[in-house]
Structure 1
Amino acid sequence: MPRVLAGLACMLAVAPVAARPNLPPSHFQIVESVPEATIYGEPGVPRTQPVWLQMIRQASQRIDIAAFYISDQPGSPLKPVLDALAARARAGVPVRILMDQSFFKDSADSVDWLRQVPNITIRVLPVDTLTGGVLHAKYMVVDGRSVFVGSQNWDWRALSQIHEIGARIDNHRFAQTFDAAFDFDWQLAAKPDLPKAAREGVEPPPFAPVTEQDPVLLDAGGNDPLTAFPAFSPPSLMPRWVTAEQPALVRMIEASRHVLRIQVMTLSALRHYGPRGWWPELDTALRDAAARGVQVRIIVADWALHEPMQSYLQSLAALPNITVKFSHLPPSPRGFIPYARVEHAKYAVADDDSVYIGTGNWEWSYFNNTVDASVFVHGAAPAKTLIAIFDRDWNGPYVTTIKTGQHYPPPRTH
């Protein structure tokens, strides 16, 4: 079983991203969004807004964005990002934005403004009609050489009021693979013919895609190179030659031997969306890891406390070697903010050398009928950084250990 799994990669910048204007051809960064007035924020890890701004401002050929929705407000940290996007488009750089149908009305103000900008094209992917899911992915590809993927929605709250984890990968072949996945869905949005797309999806690409079997080698500096590959969901809305996300994640868990750290907003084997029933693949992998002695540590958001998810989490917490905690962030100093102040990251670290960073929560629908994307990396440097981020929360003041037989009230979200 290949341990090439978890693909983030190299050279974790210790300086802010703005201080590195000329990135090397194979570069990797972990990127963190830090809610104001919290203990979050690992020193040396760049923040989301400066990374997005740098990527957009350096674009000279094209920008492709997959966005669940876009939510801005005057004076928010997202406004400079959208302004930068519009400036590059006015300078002649084509911008394509692919968005979800179900939440499109919630993006109306930002979409109307963006559509008035020359060289910006927006399409809506009817995932609900095609598979019963949504376009939940959050990624950006710039000039076919640089990719950002992570939990950060194009939402002002994701930049200053929510804890998020993403990754920037600068590698031509890696970016080509992401762009091919984007193009598949972009064409499907123009003509939602799933049988035709399935036939076209088996055609080999004109380049060597980055896959689990053929990962890209990223320069980590010194003698510690990293291997990385992207993965996508669901299989029905991606080319057949890209790596499917769910089996790759299961294999990463199966390969763990000592400690498995998971931080995700929600986690459940009960199918809440799509056909009702049980999701055995991930659940079995987690329980099997604990049974063979792996210390499984899980942090979920307090948004996961609704039933029956809370009961499911308690069923995990009842097992030896599994500890589950939920995170409850303090309110913002400015008062209550709807749909904010939450742990929204979706990542995992296996032992001290394998990492997964994704865009979907750990439920059946996010891997089987919803559009999501992720990066897997194998290497010590990104694992060390994510372990530090995880342990800051695990040992911090915001978490509560879930115990069987107790009830924990869900928070107000809006």
Structure 2
Amino acid sequence: MLATALLFHMFILPFRGPTSAGKAAAAGPYLGNRCNDPCRSVLVESIPEGLTYDDNHPQPFHLRRLEDPPGRRQPQCGHRLFLLDPEQRGHSHQDPSAGQGEEILAALREPGRGVTLRIAVNPPSSRMPCSDLQLLEESGAQIRKVNFPQLTGGVLHTKFWIVDQQHIFLGSANMDWRALTQVKELGMAVYNCSCLAQDLGKMFEAYWALGLPNATIPSPWPANYSTSYNKETPLELELNGTEAGVYFSSAPPALCATGRTEDLQSLVSIVDDADEFVYIEVMSYLPTMEFSHPKRFWPVIDDHLRKAAYERRVRVRLLVGCWRHSKANMFPFLRSLAAMHDVRTHYSMEVRLFVVPANETQARIPYARVNHSKFMVTDKVAYIGTSNWSGDYFLHTAGSALVVNQSHVGAGEQPTVRDRLQAVFERDWNSRYSQELSLPGQWEQLCGTY
């Protein structure tokens, strides 16, 4: 099945810095914090082969739809890795599901198309090779490898595309052939929206600058990286004809120029503002610093979820990915959250696991067959991110999120982004792939065998 725009921790952008973008914005479709572009958005998914629902799901999305819009076709991309060629990881080209990744790689390498391609990625490693990037570079792509382990102690984990400073995609999908057919992903594409594209471009330019030799993180960032669009003053625009307030958040804090909302601050504020419910779908949830040594407890998000359920009687539902790479120490924390759910006290805190099925052949594909989505929806806001929910991702790792507030839209109007994201969550929560949190020890059988 075709899927979301493939994003590996990498970035691609036409050669226009924030300064020129800002000048274009001043003369373009802006009036203060108002954007007059005819912005059109769509939720897009990768549905793994063999995973079916009884009802309809958001339309599949193919990268070529972003890559081949009318006009100059100047894509920009931000990702953690590029792995469209399955032979890089020892998997056969004969696997039928590999064809879509190969098709995208061939399209990006197609000569004579007048496409300016810029990519920011993590430095290559034995686990994350870069032969795809070498092929793209030979075809004219400009690539910078950003040493985030040295700069922040994390990695480049963002996944987004910008095309012609008009069209964007941001979501959970890596630039990996498996993200098209073997992993469950979710993101959002926005078309004909230069206001958003130019603002996201400033975040790309920050990564691009940090890809220079011996680069250091400036403090503060120069003014041309700053933004006026944030959780206090979102960009006002119409999405599919419906009013919305939109902004991008970023992690870690060191990468946030003046005006940019930190991703963690955005996330917890959305939880704190919810009146009725908070629904979360994420691959990994840990109230710890997941990769730190020595071990560190990090209950920031956990505390806000518990507070919402306890103080305001908000209904909290957490749907977490369950696969062979799930960390054992995640499950006691999940059971602790679920223990708040009590009929007598009316605390509503529910936790389930999402298991992507696999046949014998699919089970042999490494790092596949998992729900890799990273989103949250409340009664007010849609939040689509690129980070797993543990401390390292918000404090050290480069990530981003798209936040859409349409809480003021009245009932009876056409479905909003928030409405559609809620429908996706409820479909997944009520599907046969959603499993009750098992007793101690049982998760190993549930997540580790197919």
How would you bin the TM-score normalised by the shorter chain? 0.7 to 0.9
Amino acid aligned to 1:279: W
Compare relative contact order (CA 8 Å, sep 6+) and give the higher one, 1 or 2: 1
What is the CA-CA distance between 1:335 and the residue it aligns to? 3.5
Inter-partner Cα distance in structure 2 for 1:335 and 1:382: 32
Equivalent residue for 2:355, pick from 302, 315, 328: 328
Aligned partner of residue 198 in structure 1, secondary structure:
coil
Give the conservation status (yes or no) of the 8 Å contact 1:66–1:137: yes
Aligned partner of residue 188 in structure 2, secondary structure:
strand
Inter-partner Cα distance in structure 1 for 2:360 and 2:50: 7
Inter-partner Cα distance in structure 2 for 1:37 and 1:277: 39
Q: Output the aligned Cα RMSD.
A: 2.4
Inter-partner Cα distance in structure 2 for 1:188 and 1:32: 31
Which position in structure 2 is the counterpart of 1:13? none
Structure 2 unaligned residues grouped into runs of 5+ = 1-36, 87-92, 342-347, 407-414
Aligned partner of residue 275 in structure 2, secondary structure:
coil
Give the conservation status (yes or no) of the 8 Å contact 2:76–2:163: yes
Q: Once the two structures are superposed, what CA deviation does each residue of 1:373-396 show, in whole Å capped at 9, x if it has no partner?
A: 110011261122122211222111
Matches for 1:153-192 after TM superposition, within 5 Å: 153-170=174-191, 171-192=193-214
Give the conservation status (yes or no) of the 8 Å contact 2:226–2:260: no
What is the CA-CA distance between 1:153 and the residue it aligns to? 0.4
Aligned partner of residue 143 in structure 2, secondary structure:
strand
Inter-partner Cα distance in structure 1 for 2:125 and 2:329: 25
**Equivalent pairs, count:** 382
Give the conservation status (yes or no) of the 8 Å contact 1:323–1:401: no
CA separation of 1:350 and 1:161: change in aligned 2, threshold 3 A? same
Which position in structure 2 is the counterpart of 1:79? 102
Tell me if 1:294 matches 2:321. Answer: no
Equivalent residue for 1:68, pick from 76, 80, 88: 80
Give the conservation status (yes or no) of the 8 Å contact 1:42–1:388: no
Which position in structure 1 is the counterpart of 2:15? none
Inter-partner Cα distance in structure 2 for 1:300 and 1:207: 34
TM-score, structure 1 as length reference = 0.86
Equivalent residue for 2:277, pick from 259, 277, 287: 259
Give identity over the alignment, percent.
28
Inter-partner Cα distance in structure 1 for 2:209 and 2:405: 32
What is the CA-CA distance between 1:206 and the residue it aligns to? 8.1
Q: Once the two structures are superposed, what CA deviation does each residue of 1:46-74 show, in whole Å capped at 9, x if it has no partner?
A: 2232xx21111126152211111111234
Aligned partner of residue 78 in structure 1, secondary structure:
helix
Give the conservation status (yes or no) of the 8 Å contact 1:231–1:244: yes
Larger CA deviation: 313-322 vs 97-106 = 97-106
Inter-partner Cα distance in structure 2 for 1:256 and 1:345: 21
CA separation of 1:62 and 1:126: change in aligned 2, threshold 3 A? same
Aligned partner of residue 209 in structure 2, secondary structure:
helix
Which position in structure 2 is the counterpart of 1:248? 266
Tell me if 1:398 matches 2:433. Answer: yes
CA separation of 1:84 and 1:102: change in aligned 2, threshold 3 A? closer
Inter-partner Cα distance in structure 1 for 2:288 and 2:224: 37
Amino acid aligned to 1:26: C
Q: Once the two structures are superposed, what CA deviation does each residue of 1:100-154 show, in whole Å capped at 9, x if it has no partner?
A: 1265762322122111102x11111100111110101111111111110000001
Tell me if 1:227 matches 2:248. Answer: no
Inter-partner Cα distance in structure 2 for 1:413 and 1:110: 31
